[in-house]
């Protein structure tokens, strides 16, 4: 009995010890594992990357000084999520709000420019008159003796002593005595006085009085303001000499200065809203009725004229005017228009930031654009953007600064360009070659081997029309390297009757055409680099397309829609050099 009890006790103790051991292994090991995981997590959380605000390409795992400029390195905020586009800058809604970032969708519209003009009120040149003296003599008295005085037609301006008129009166009296016998002599004497602009009434008064008058008045020929005095009392004057300048201000001109570069925007018939500096709160509207046909050689401006009815005399010559005209070019089609605040201006080729949204959030990618006309508060876009894309229109510099700090492409940190400089004539010549290539591609899409061979016969002749003498340096060397594969692939394509063999040579042709497009650019608004991953036993193959829609030349009807758009080439926009080991992903999904 005692032996049995001892045996039971031994078994119980053994079970208890084994249980303790298992519990320690399970609980203790788990606790240790959790502790290690927490430790690793804390280590991971503690890893911080440091960069230089002036040289964002510097990246270090610990604080210190920039090896380039010696500035203190600052930590870079890491959010841990991988970005699908290596060049994209991701921003949280909070960061966007703090930076004042606002975006707008690009739309197509007329190129309307709001142009500001400056000018002056001037007298209407057609209403400026010179008041002459009609007979010689000495000015005895000026009845109008200051500029700015208003005179009415027929008003006496001055009294003139004229010996010639005294003599003419005496001749008139003598002729009057003989008018019965010699009437012609009498009429001749009167006509002499009429030629000196004496009226019939004055002549009759002289005849009635029978006495010679020593002084005669100068009468105003028209009404207006005296804007110039050419004589003073006591001056001797000749017949026809200018005495006063009279200006009628019932109508005036507003003359605006139009710079040479702005002339395309200002046309006859354009409506101008303008204000006068000395008449605050009042806005006037007029129509341009004349533009100078000649540009001033010194100021490089032409005058645009508005005729204004000034019966109330509110406008006075030399008043300053400020106008605004909204004009559009009649020969300019609709184009993309973006606010100036969206563009980081670096010349004709400037940059904007394009917004994209994904499951990871909002991101921005720098895009090079070619600017067109300056529209005042906006730019017309020649190339680089598409209607419907969303771009940053406010806070652009904040986004650019964040991109620079994050080591992303920015205005001051643009990626190296693969595209080489080539003259327009050369680009037009290789664009003709691209059109022949599209004929070959489209024939293969239709499974038309004969059509592909026929189109390929044009390749050699089109290549011969490409003048490599237009290129020099690296561009010339690159074209020499490409022209051989282009010619050879064209020969094989036209000689083969087997469409599968043609497609193999078409792949070689496509790679050369894609390189040609990236190195030199085409004179086509947009072309697309497309890719089929299933071509040639899943090795994949590229081609260039004039259409964004996928139509597969490697399979034809069998898998017509298999493929994806990997890149869009835009006219005038340089293609960035790519690291083939770290190429960006395709921009579109893959179709089957």
> What's the CATH architecture for 134-240?
Beta Barrel (2.40)
What is the spatial distance between Cα 89 and Cα 245, in angstroms, rounded to a whole number? 71
**Who wins on pLDDT, 82 or 475?**
475
CB 378 within 8 A of CB 112: no
Contacts of residue 154, defined as CB under 8 A and 6 or more positions apart, other chains included, come to 219, 220
pLDDT band at 241 (very low <50, low <70, confident <90, very high): very high
Q: Which of 266, 313, 301, 264 shows the shortest CA–CA distance to 286?
A: 266
Please, what is the end-to-end C-alpha distance for the chain in angstroms?
Answer: 83
Q: Which of 420, 508, 418, 399 shows the shortest CA–CA distance to 456?
A: 508
DSSP string, 431-485: HHHHHHHHHHHHHHHTT-HHHHHHHHHHHHHHHHT--GGG--HHHHHHHHHHHHH
- Residue given tokens 């040479």 in the structure block: 260
CB 351 within 8 A of CB 369: yes
pLDDT in tens, 335-347: 788 999 999 987 7
Query: What pLDDT score does 147 carry?
Result: 92
**Is residue 50 scored above 60 in pLDDT?**
yes
Give me the long-range contacts of 414-417 (CB less than 8 A, separation at least 24): 414/351, 414/366, 414/368, 415/87, 415/576, 415/577, 416/576, 416/577, 417/574, 417/575, 417/576, 417/577
The pair of structure tokens assigned to 143 is 């009845």
Residues, the chain, total?
592
305 three-class SS? strand
Spans of all domains in the chain: 48-78, 89-110+333-405, 134-240, 424-582
User: Which of 216-225, 352-361, 422-431 is predicted most confidently?
Assistant: 422-431
Phi-psi region of 488 (alpha: psi -120 to 50; beta: other; left: phi over 0): alpha
**pLDDT above 70 coverage of the chain, percent:** 86
Q: What are phi and psi of 532, to 5 degrees?
A: -115, 115
**Is residue 8 scored above 60 in pLDDT?**
no
Least confident piece of the model among 129-133, 185-189, 310-314, 439-443: 185-189
Question: What is the overall mean pLDDT for the chain?
Answer: 84
* Mean pLDDT across 137-155: 92
14 three-class SS? helix
Q: Which of 266, 260, 276 shows the shortest CA–CA distance to 305?
A: 266
pLDDT in tens, 150-190: 999 989 999 999 888 888 888 888 888 887 778 888 888 88
Quote the radius of gyration of the chain (alpha carbons, Å). Answer: 45
pLDDT in tens, 52-61: 766 666 778 8
Query: DSSP character for 228?
Result: E
Query: DSSP character for 376?
Result: S
Buried/exposed 459-494: b ≥16 CB within 10 Å, e otherwise: beebbeebeeebbeeebeebbeebbebbeebbebbb
pLDDT band at 332 (very low <50, low <70, confident <90, very high): low
207 three-class SS? helix
Query: What pLDDT score does 36 carry?
Result: 45
* Mean pLDDT across 552-563: 92
What is the spatial distance between Cα 303 and Cα 418, in angstroms, rounded to a whole number? 47
130 three-class SS? strand
Query: What pLDDT score does 260 carry?
Result: 92
Least confident piece of the model among 31-40, 152-161, 476-485: 31-40
The pair of structure tokens assigned to 306 is 């508005």
- Residue given tokens 């940053």 in the structure block: 392
**Is residue 511 scored above 60 in pLDDT?**
yes
What is the spatial distance between Cα 149 and Cα 226, in angstroms, rounded to a whole number? 5
Q: Which of 91, 53, 101 shows the shortest CA–CA distance to 404?
A: 53
What CATH code would you report for 89-110+333-405?
Answer: 2.40.420.20
What is the spatial distance between Cα 157 and Cα 242, in angstroms, rounded to a whole number? 12
pLDDT in tens, 371-411: 888 887 888 888 889 888 999 999 999 999 999 888 888 88
pLDDT band at 586 (very low <50, low <70, confident <90, very high): very low
The pair of structure tokens assigned to 583 is 């190429």
**Is residue 334 scored above 80 in pLDDT?**
no
**pLDDT above 90 coverage of the chain, percent:** 52
CB 509 within 8 A of CB 500: no
Q: 97: part of which helix (H) or strand (E)?
A: helix 93-99
Cα of 241 vs its chain's centroid, Å: 56
């Amino acid at each position: 009995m005692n032996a049995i009890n001892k045996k039971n006790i031994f078994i119980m103790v053994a079970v208890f010890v084994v249980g303790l051991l298992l519990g320690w292994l399970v609980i203790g090991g788990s606790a240790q594992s959790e502790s290690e995981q927490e430790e690793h997590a804390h280590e991971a959380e503690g890893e911080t990357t440091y960069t230089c605000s002036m040289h964002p390409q510097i990246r270090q795992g610990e604080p210190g000084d920039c090896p380039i400029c010696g500035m203190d390195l600052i930590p870079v905020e890491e959010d841990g999520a991988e970005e699908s586009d290596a060049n994209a800058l991701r921003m949280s809604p909070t960061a966007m709000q703090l930076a004042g970032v606002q975006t707008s969708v690009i739309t197509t519209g007329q190129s309307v420019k709001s142009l500001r003009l400056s000018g002056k009120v001037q007298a209407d040149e057609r209403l400026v008159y010179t008041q002459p003296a009609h007979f010689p003599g000495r000015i005895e008295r000026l009845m109008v003796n200051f500029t700015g005085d208003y005179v009415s037609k027929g008003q006496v301006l001055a009294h003139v002593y004229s010996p010639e008129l005294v003599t003419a009166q005496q001749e008139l009296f003598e002729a009057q005595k003989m008018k019965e016998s010699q009437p012609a002599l009498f009429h001749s004497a009167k006509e002499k006085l009429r030629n000196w602009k004496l009226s019939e009434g004055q002549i009759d008064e002289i005849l009635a009085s029978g006495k010679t008058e020593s002084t005669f008045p100068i009468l105003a020929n028209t009404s207006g303001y005296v804007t110039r005095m050419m004589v003073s009392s006591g001056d001797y004057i000749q017949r026809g000499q200018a005495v006063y300048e009279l200006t009628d201000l019932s109508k005036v001109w507003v003359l605006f200065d139009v710079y040479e570069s702005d002339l395309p925007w200002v046309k006859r018939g354009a409506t101008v809203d303008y204000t006068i500096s000395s008449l605050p709160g009042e806005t006037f509207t007029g129509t341009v009725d004349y533009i100078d046909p000649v540009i001033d050689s010194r100021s490089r401006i032409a005058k645009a004229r508005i005729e204004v009815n000034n019966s109330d005399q509110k406008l006075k010559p030399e008043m300053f005017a400020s106008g605004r005209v909204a004009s559009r070019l009649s020969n300019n089609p609709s184009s993309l228009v973006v606010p100036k605040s969206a563009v980081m201006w670096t010349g004709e080729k400037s940059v904007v930031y394009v917004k994209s949204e994904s499951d990871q959030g909002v991101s921005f990618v720098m895009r090079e654009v070619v600017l067109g006309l300056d529209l005042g508060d906006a730019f017309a876009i020649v190339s680089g953007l598409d209607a419907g894309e969303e771009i940053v229109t406010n806070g652009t510099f904040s986004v650019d600064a964040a991109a620079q700090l994050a080591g992303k492409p920015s205005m001051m940190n643009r990626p190296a360009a693969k595209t080489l400089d080539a003259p327009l004539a050369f680009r037009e010549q290789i664009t003709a070659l691209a059109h022949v290539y599209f004929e070959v591609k489209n024939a293969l899409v239709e499974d038309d081997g004969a059509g592909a061979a026929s189109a390929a016969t044009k390749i050699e002749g089109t290549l011969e029309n490409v003048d490599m003498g237009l290129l020099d340096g690296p561009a010339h060397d690159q074209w020499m390297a490409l022209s051989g594969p282009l010619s050879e692939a064209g020969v094989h394509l036209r000689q083969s009757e087997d469409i599968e063999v043609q497609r193999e040579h078409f792949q070689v042709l496509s790679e050369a055409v894609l390189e040609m497009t990236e190195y030199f650019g085409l004179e086509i608004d947009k072309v697309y680099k497309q890719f089929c991953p299933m071509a040639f036993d899943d090795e994949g193959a590229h081609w260039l397309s004039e259409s964004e829609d996928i139509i597969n030349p490697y399979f034809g009807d069998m898998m017509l829609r298999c493929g994806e758009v990997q890149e869009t080439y835009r006219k005038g926009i340089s293609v960035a050099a790519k690291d083939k080991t770290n190429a960006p992903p395709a921009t579109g999904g893959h179709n089957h």
